[in-house]
Amino acid sequence: MSDEVSGFVLAKNRGEKQAVAMTVDGKDVDLAMTVSLDAKVEFITKKDRKALEIFRHTTAHIMAQAIKELWPSAQLAIGPVIENGFYYDVSCEHQFVPADFEQIERKMRDIIKANYKITRQDISKSEALEMFAGDRFKTELITDLDVESVSIYSHDDKFTDLCRGPHLPSTGAASTHFKIMKIAGAYWRGDSKREMLQRIYATSWLSKEDLDEYLHNLEEAEKRDHRRIAKEMDLFHMQEEAPGCIFWHPKGWTMYNTLKDYIRKCILKDGYVEVCTPQLVDRSLWEASGHWDKYRENMFIAESEGRMMAVKPMNCPGAIQIFKQGIKSYRDLPLRLAEFGYCHRNEPSGSLYGTMRVRGFTQDDAHIFCTPDQINSETKKFCKLLSKIYNDLGFNSFSVKFSDRPAKRTGSDEIWDQAERLLQEATTEAGLSYSLNKGEGAFYGPKLEFALKDKLGREWQCGTLQVDFQLPVRLGAYYTAEDGEKRHPIMLHRAVLGSLERFIGILLENYAGRLPLWLAPVQIVVATITNSFDEYAQKVYDRLKQVGIRAELDLRAEKISYKIRNHVMAKVPVIAIIGANEVDKHEVTLRYPNGDQVTVPLDESVDLISNKCREPEV
């Protein structure tokens, strides 16, 4: 009896009817693979998260086959799975337009219906180069691979592509719940000096319900686009003369400062002191910190009097300069230096997107200088602060990723071992579960990444906590230990929101502009039905302003229905309507966004709105 068996046979013997692939000794492979009977085998079934990626990977190949059959001269570049779907980069004389989508989708369904068997073959690099001799993209990829053999996948004799897999057993096993979404331009291998390809994006799901929900959420996300909402609320704008930077309007700046002031109150209560470091710093400091080597291409440079300066892309070297002033003792630790640091990074122009991706932004940054045995308590303290702030802002849960050492890093493996162990222990003691984000740590240390989930189920990575054994050493920061010896402190880099600009975009999309009353730039508008009631409306407005409510007065000679429509569009939380009844009875009618109205005495209305406008208790 053979000591090897195929995944198909093994799945059948184990009754795994839903298996689509398998993990053998930690590696994901096709069911057609033969495995040793003593191998550790786990089946990937439709209910597993990995299964959706495999379905999408196969559907990407099906789309590629459809394109080749419809436009035989097309050359295929790469087609990876991405979040919510996949794409394929194509070089083709035909310029794809949305009108082509239906034709491609029909051909894809034909390929699924044909149920071609999907097979894998491992061949030598020389054989692969010969097979793809007419394909400049595949030959370049194969040539650059530092391997002796490569794998190819075929749909019977109809289609063959270079791929690592794994894939479904046949095209007929693929889901028919897919949709081609859009076309974009993409440079070959991300190099702007190379050929511009046509990137065709698609999404794929295991059920019609999942596909419908995704498309619905996309439609809803478009309605919630923070750039559209910002225009309706008159918060900010951006223009070509300052790419990636924001022109804050009065209402937007009010919201910005309200959020910033709330964060400031939280951190000051939590034992931080606030500092501010220079925008422009000499190149020598960035070289000493290691940022010049790692981030030079993302830094804006200025020269003056023969000196090369850099606009700061981050705040940490400046925080160390403050720590170094004066002698520090172990009794001074932990020292928590907070900074709303305005930073600039030279992001590619094509990646800029509203407030979500900018070149100029403010971090709610802080650097905690501590001893190794304080990492645990400081991590728990930070996680508690972060949880409170997120909850106050309307996000009741978040996920955590632990990012360990990257390939390019500074420091010895022994230091990294210690840093990773201490941060993992602290995270566990803080009561947080986490997933591993392998190789994604900062070049100086491991980190935690905190991701929020919004009302559309989208995740936003915001907060971070990074353990740094390196920078205090590089920049010569010391404290006097209990035994009288000089030691380097540990530096914890941490942020709750990440970037205020980006977080404001997240808030606008999460709430669809209907912000909590305490955070709304305009909390109430007093609007008259006719100008006969202007005097009383002014009195109501003055009373609201006296108690600190952000109110506006609308005395325009327009119909009240027009005024209401304007203010509802501008996402004003409450409209105070003033007419004859309100004047006669000394009352105010309060109208809410859902159309509900309540008429109450003036004093009661002021108290009611004032109570609702209170920011969360710090």
Alpha helix (H) ranges present in 44-124?
Answer: 49-70, 101-114
Instruction: Look at residue 18 in the predicted model and tell me its pLDDT.
Output: 85
Active site residue 345: yes
Long-range CB contacts (within 8 A, 24+) of 545-550: 547/606, 547/610, 548/610, 548/613, 549/523, 549/524, 549/606, 549/609, 549/610, 549/613, 550/254, 550/520, 550/521, 550/522, 550/523, 550/524, 550/613
Beta carbons of 489 and 322 less than 8 angstroms apart: no
- 454: pLDDT strictly greater than 60: yes
Q: Compute the distance between CA of residue 558 and CA of residue 560 in angstroms, rounded to an integer.
A: 6
- 1: pLDDT strictly greater than 50: no
- 78: pLDDT strictly greater than 70: yes
Q: For residue 408, what pLDDT band results from cuts at 50, 70 and 90?
A: confident
Instruction: Look at residue 49 in the predicted model and tell me its pLDDT.
Output: 84
DSSP 360-413: EEEEEEEEEEE-GGGHHHHHHHHHHHHHHHHHHTT---EEEEEE---SS--S-H
Instruction: Look at residue 7 in the predicted model and tell me its pLDDT.
Output: 85
- Per cent of the chain over pLDDT 70 is 100
Q: Compute the distance between CA of residue 57 and CA of residue 191 in angstroms, rounded to an integer.
A: 24
Active site residue 367: yes
Catalytic residue among 89, 161, 364, 365: 365
- How far apart, in Å, do the first and last CA atoms of the chain sit? 71
Instruction: Look at residue 410 in the predicted model and tell me its pLDDT.
Output: 79
Active site residue 493: yes
Active site residue 177: no
Catalytic residue among 493, 502, 550, 567: 493
Least confident piece of the model among 140-149, 356-365, 508-517: 140-149
- 2: pLDDT strictly greater than 60: no
* Cis peptide bond N-terminal to 593, omega within 30: no
Average pLDDT, whole number, for the chain?
93
Active site residue 586: no
Catalytic residue among 61, 224, 447, 563: 447
pLDDT tens-digit series, residues 158-210: 999 999 989 999 999 999 999 999 999 999 998 888 999 999 999 999 999 99
pLDDT tens-digit series, residues 3-49: 778 888 888 888 888 889 998 888 899 898 888 877 888 898 888 88
pLDDT tens-digit series, residues 499-518: 999 999 999 999 999 999 99
Catalytic residue among 312, 367, 409, 474: 367
- Please name which of 145, 152, 117 lies closest in space to residue 131, comparing C-alpha atoms: 152
Active site residue 462: no
Beta carbons of 317 and 332 less than 8 angstroms apart: no
pTM: 0.82
Catalytic residue among 92, 163, 316, 383: 316
- 9 strand-pairing partners: none
Catalytic residue among 138, 328, 357, 363: 363
Other C-beta atoms within 10 Å of 471: how many? Answer: 26
